[in-house]
Structure 1
């Protein structure tokens, strides 16, 4: 999430702080012959704070050392971050920056792919202000996830991971990150919505995201979204806005999906995404030109699970007429009306699993219009497709 240069913001902050300090000094300086200036009021002790405040402070103080500031020394440029429907992209900044999460004691850092995309050099700044060079272990571009590795002087303390499986709207959320280059900032809110889908940079949807009103801003990307116990329930990935700053609609990748990707990246350096072995026709063509609901199979890859199961792709007859392929209408017991529905059904599938599909054979050979010729049920073994650009 980038919009304004962190350097410029910091410069403005420094100017503002300098002016404030000067004003404070002018106000507090004793007049000639007068006594010493009044002392600043002491910070409130625990007895003056509410239980909710103490809990929030405790979570921030425990979690802060496990959140890092990532600097990408590539000069980044790109179109504006958000359009309708929401699309992930990287705006123009002189220097890229974002946030990251300490994943384990060995030095693995999890962040967003768009934070590190195209990097020529990456550095990670710890809350202690120690700065380490970082290398990219691997990425899951479809989910906008990247895993970095640093070599710290001391073992790092990872954040505890929660689960995103049973979240409820209204739960308290806490977001820690480095918006606008301001290090280690806390914002709070609630879960405003669940099951949000946004389009990833590869054109594949990122499904099941968490919506929160905890303020997220440029530079918050890659930071953790925590629950009221301080456990990570999401990785902050996007804001939906017309102005470039927080409008109370922040989007986080659910931690269960993040964990699937990160575990694969750390173990093998890349992510294998379950695949049926088909290419799909665009939804617009199926819905507008054909007037049907479902996913039309355009091409079946040889020796894939779909090929072995007998799925049919779209082809041409000897006379040049178009023969439509199978139309997928159910997958894993769920109705499929668009490619997004099929992507959602595949989210719960692992490589090697069998996916139960229902397909429709379409026919218009009699010239009387498109009609359903028959239905078949297929069991397709999901293969592995490397998730990379």
Structure 2
């Protein structure tokens, strides 16, 4: 039982349901005899601009040959991909409409609290009668989930997110979009995940203008220095730092001479206690800038300069 007046939920759904769309995608696949055949997938999206920009998941439209967008009133328009971002699993598509479309209001996901009531809205099959609606609570904030492209920081909710609802909005009781539904755990009961809308806000402009997101990158994977690793490398038990677990060939880190097994102790003069500090520091830099990295290589400490580059697409 959701402890809130049902009129509040109805009003919230009414406010945003006209902005929720079904997205049918056609991909060309090959069978074992290399014959080509079309496969149709379905997902959802939410209109974010009266001119026809729609926010959805990247996996909903990835590799699609054609996109058919169906609105709550039954109107069908052809969609065109404007920008994609694998890292956040977000994408923007655009439709050409004769008149202005109903755009949803984007809220503030930073203001969310665990236990807050949320509503998942989707239009997975383009059926008449409006989108499907489920309600629940925010189960957890900043839940880190390992994805193919890295770690995604997501909102966890117990509002049911069904297949085909990916790309639809998660809204608060004011009818504001606070996240984009992105995945459900196939072997867990009643667990859904959504990308915070503030994450989307930070990249929307780049997706619309450039079609992709430029991210600073140096090309390393690192892990925390545990007491066991400290003993192995002959470091004091209280040593912090980030152990370089991998260096991508031809990356800025590779060019600077960083190696697997190096321990990053400082970055631009700041002590490193956790690998997340390295990632956060690089994230705040612009491609072309340089950072000073203090490295411990089997007991020998030295400093190298690493030029930050743009992450390859």
TM-score band w.r.t. shorter chain: 0.7 to 0.9
Q: Verify: 1:128 aligned to 2:73, yes or no.
A: yes
Cα distance in 2 between the residues matched to 1:259 and 1:270: 14
Shift, 1:348, TM fit: 5.8
Where 2:109 maps in the other structure, the secondary structure is coil
Which structure features the higher share of helix residues?
1
- Deviation per residue, 1:101-132 (Å, 9 max, x gap): 10111111111111111111111001111100
Q: How does 1:1-389 map to 2 (within 5 A)?
A: 52-74=5-27, 94-179=39-124, 184-202=131-149, 204-207=150-153, 209-242=154-187, 247-275=189-217, 277-280=218-221, 291=232, 294-296=242-244, 299=247, 304=252, 312-314=257-259, 326-329=262-265, 335=272, 337-338=274-275, 341=276, 345=280, 349=284, 351=286, 359-363=294-298, 372-374=299-301, 382-386=308-312, 388=313
Whether the aligned pair in 1 keeps the contact of 2:56 and 2:166 (CA below 8 Å) is: yes
Shift, 1:349, TM fit: 2.2
- Deviation per residue, 1:23-60 (Å, 9 max, x gap): xxxxxxxxxxxxxxxxxxxxxxxxxxx97111111111
Where 1:95 maps in the other structure, the secondary structure is strand
Contiguous gaps of at least 5 residues in structure 2: 31-37, 234-240
Cα distance in 1 between the residues matched to 2:156 and 2:292: 31
Shift in CA distance, 331/95, structure 1 to aligned 2, threshold 3 Å: farther
Whether the aligned pair in 1 keeps the contact of 2:182 and 2:193 (CA below 8 Å) is: yes
Shift in CA distance, 58/119, structure 1 to aligned 2, threshold 3 Å: same
Whether the aligned pair in 1 keeps the contact of 2:16 and 2:176 (CA below 8 Å) is: no
Q: What is residue 26 of structure 1 aligned with on the other side?
A: none
Shift, 1:193, TM fit: 0.3
Whether the aligned pair in 2 keeps the contact of 1:328 and 1:336 (CA below 8 Å) is: no
Whether the aligned pair in 1 keeps the contact of 2:265 and 2:296 (CA below 8 Å) is: no
Cα distance in 1 between the residues matched to 2:49 and 2:169: 14
Whether the aligned pair in 2 keeps the contact of 1:329 and 1:337 (CA below 8 Å) is: no
Shift in CA distance, 104/336, structure 1 to aligned 2, threshold 3 Å: farther
Cα distance in 1 between the residues matched to 2:175 and 2:279: 29
Shift, 1:188, TM fit: 0.8
Shift in CA distance, 145/217, structure 1 to aligned 2, threshold 3 Å: same
Shift, 1:302, TM fit: 7.5
Shift, 1:200, TM fit: 2.7
Shift, 1:99, TM fit: 0.4
Which structure features the higher share of strand residues?
2
Mark the structure with the bigger radius of gyration.
1
Cα distance in 1 between the residues matched to 2:172 and 2:251: 45
Equivalenced residue count is 292
Shift, 1:296, TM fit: 1.1
Cα distance in 2 between the residues matched to 1:96 and 1:289: 49
- Alpha-carbon RMSD across the aligned residues, in angstroms, is 3.6
Whether the aligned pair in 2 keeps the contact of 1:272 and 1:351 (CA below 8 Å) is: no
Cα distance in 1 between the residues matched to 2:167 and 2:266: 35
Whether the aligned pair in 1 keeps the contact of 2:22 and 2:125 (CA below 8 Å) is: no
Contiguous gaps of at least 5 residues in structure 1: 1-49, 78-92, 315-323, 364-371
Cα distance in 2 between the residues matched to 1:303 and 1:75: 34
Shift in CA distance, 206/346, structure 1 to aligned 2, threshold 3 Å: farther
- Deviation per residue, 1:207-258 (Å, 9 max, x gap): 2x10011110101100111112111111110111317xxx221111011111
Shift, 1:383, TM fit: 3.7
Shift in CA distance, 302/113, structure 1 to aligned 2, threshold 3 Å: closer
Shift, 1:138, TM fit: 1.4
Where 2:136 maps in the other structure, the secondary structure is strand
Whether the aligned pair in 2 keeps the contact of 1:357 and 1:379 (CA below 8 Å) is: yes
Shift in CA distance, 328/149, structure 1 to aligned 2, threshold 3 Å: same
Shift in CA distance, 76/233, structure 1 to aligned 2, threshold 3 Å: farther
